[in-house]
Amino acid sequence: MRIFPRRYACVLPAALCDRVSAQFRQLFGAAGVASTGFLRTTEPRHRAAVRHFWGELRSRGLLRKGLYEGWYCASDECFLPEAKVTRQPGPSGEPVPVSVESGHPVSWTKEENYIFRLSQFREPLRQWLRGDPHAIAPEPFRGAVLQWLEEELPDLSVSRSRRHLHWGIPVPGDDSQTIYVWLDALVNYLTAIGYPDAEFQSWWPATSHIIGKDILKFHAIYWPALLLGAGLSPPHRIYVHSHWTVCGQKMSKSLGNVVDPRTCLERYTVDGFRYFLLRQGVPNWDCDYYDEKVVKLLDSELADALGGLLNRCTASRINPSGTYPAFCPACFPSEPGLAGPSARARAEDYALVNAVAALPQQVAHYYDHFQIYKALEQVSACVRQTNGFVQRHAPWTLNWESPADAPWLGTVLHVALECLRVFGTLLQPVTPHLADKLLSRLGVSATERGLGELCFLPRFYGHACPFEGRKLGRETGLLFPRLDQSRSRLVKAHGT
């Protein structure tokens, strides 16, 4: 079998896969995406795992060889029941059969295959999902899978004739058949953690899959059923994400609206593009992408709100000593009712302290539950509150030489810097370089950046603050440069 892509004259499957795999690895490296293991399903260890898994299914009487007949979608690599096939006008105007779910063409196929007794697992799958409401998240996708299980669940063809598909793993003991690509591919989750050796049991089933919604059926029905058939438990969690559209349309090579992530990484920086995708990517539904949207978000939240806040609080004009100023409890008592003659904190200031104090736990919860966009929403809201706090008290109008102003000026800067320290710590998984730059500017050492060590504004609660009086880190320039330079030029022209 040979593949003829548009730009390549004649490429064997192995060579094409090598090229594409290398491109993904290069992209992950450029995007700051690390992995403890990068598995190719052509590796010998994976072939051994697939053969062992096949043997487990066969030993339990779950595989039979027989004539398989039905609608086959080559693009989706699966057979479809009649109810999942419809007809749409083709290029000539004549109706052609297509998949209801994907819209890809299907054809009636009849061949001898090995068949997995999937129909036996309909009730066990329903019990699994009803017994664990969090097995598939977000909830709408779990509901979709339960709805599929209300319908017919036919047995599944798990091999193809080797005459038609010699690229793949041969069925053990029957070289006339190739193991179905999806069964082969899904077993890679086990291969990566050492299956079939005993070491894999320390990981399984305490495992989470993160998948696109278009492959939900393979991961939430076929895969759990195959695992149960092999005597294993379903995955611990299946997190599902939706897709990105471009200006309201699905990305398509024919439409020419495919977004090249490498170009975006260069244009918006690695941290900027990561922030946009995780800030705007809502798993429950498709999200729309266009360049103006990226520019507006990054300028507003990273360049102006967060970067502007850092610049204000570390500028030599407002912080000439270049230190973490002292916090004055008399100016900002722990409770509004304790206010004395020196107190200057307002109700809105206490609301800010409460919001930022609660932020680490909220963000950790959202990170743990695959709701990163909600975590970043909360961080962004607190950044806005902190800017409001600084704007409200206008420390640039206060005088360090004034005995009345100095304690409050130091307190305002101390609170703002403490808020920035929290933001930088919580943003590390999303924008690692930007967070490092921010925390370094605040003088926060590498050993003080863990979530477990994050104690916000200890002086407010009557405890010592290790940062009070500490020298700030060296000047590192703009935290995040504005992408829309037209507004920057306008600001300079008006001197504001």
The residue out of 187, 221, 241 marking a domain boundary is: 241
The two three-digit tokens of residue 333, written as one number:
């008592």
Position 53 in a domain = yes
The residue out of 185, 220, 241 marking a domain boundary is: 241
Same domain (yes/no): 296, 373: yes
Same domain (yes/no): 277, 425: yes
Order of strands, sheet of 156-157, starting from the edge strand that comes earlier in the sequence: 78-80, 63-73, 107-116, 156-157
Same domain (yes/no): 32, 60: no
- How many structural domains are present in the chain? 3
Same domain (yes/no): 275, 319: yes
Same domain (yes/no): 388, 399: yes
Rg (CA), the chain: 29
- pLDDT tens for the chain, 496 residues: list them: 334 445 545 788 889 989 999 999 999 999 999 888 889 999 999 999 999 999 999 999 999 998 878 888 877 777 787 888 999 888 878 888 998 877 889 999 888 999 999 999 999 999 999 999 999 999 999 999 999 999 889 899 999 988 877 889 999 999 999 999 899 999 999 999 999 998 899 999 988 999 999 999 999 999 999 999 999 999 999 999 999 999 888 888 778 889 999 999 999 999 999 999 999 999 999 999 999 999 999 999 999 999 999 999 999 999 999 999 999 999 999 988 776 778 899 999 999 999 999 999 999 999 999 999 999 999 999 999 999 999 999 999 999 999 999 999 999 999 999 999 999 999 999 999 999 999 999 999 999 999 988 999 999 999 999 999 999 999 888 999 999 876 544 444 444 3
Position 248 in a domain = no
Burial of 480 (0-12, 13-18, 19+ CB in 10 A): buried
Q: What is the CATH number of the domain that holds 424?
A: 1.10.730.10
User: Distance between CA atoms of 305 and 391, rounded to whole angstroms?
Assistant: 12
Bridge partners, residue 110, by sequence: 69
Same domain (yes/no): 335, 452: yes
Same domain (yes/no): 34, 54: no
User: Distance between CA atoms of 226 and 234, rounded to whole angstroms?
Assistant: 9
Number of other CB atoms surrounding residue 322 within 10 Å: 14
Same domain (yes/no): 32, 81: no
Q: Are 310 and 477 in contact (CB under 8 A)?
A: no
Q: Given the DSSP bridges, would you call strands 237-241 and 159-161 parallel, antiparallel or unpaired?
A: unpaired
Same domain (yes/no): 31, 102: no
CA-to-CA separations, 287 to 56, 242, 245, 248, 340, in angstroms, rounded: 41, 8, 6, 8, 51
CA dihedral 220, 223, 228, 234 (to 10 degrees): -50
Q: Which residues contact 297 (CB under 8 A, 6 or more apart)?
A: 276, 279, 280
Position 176 in a domain = yes
User: Distance between CA atoms of 94 and 444, rounded to whole angstroms?
Assistant: 68
DSSP state of 6: T
Provide the residue type at 384 as one letter.
R
Position 83 in a domain = yes
Q: What is the CATH number of the domain that holds 222?
A: 3.40.50.620
Q: Are 383 and 309 in contact (CB under 8 A)?
A: yes
State the pTM of this model. Answer: 0.89
Same domain (yes/no): 143, 112: yes
- For residue 425, the enclosing domain spans 271-494
Same domain (yes/no): 27, 159: no
Position 307 in a domain = yes
Position 351 in a domain = yes
Same domain (yes/no): 165, 281: no
DSSP state of 305: I
Position 447 in a domain = yes
Q: Cis check for the bond before 138: say yes or no (omega within 30 of 0).
A: yes
User: Distance between CA atoms of 422 and 364, rounded to whole angstroms?
Assistant: 12
User: Distance between CA atoms of 443 and 451, rounded to whole angstroms?
Assistant: 17
Position 262 in a domain = no
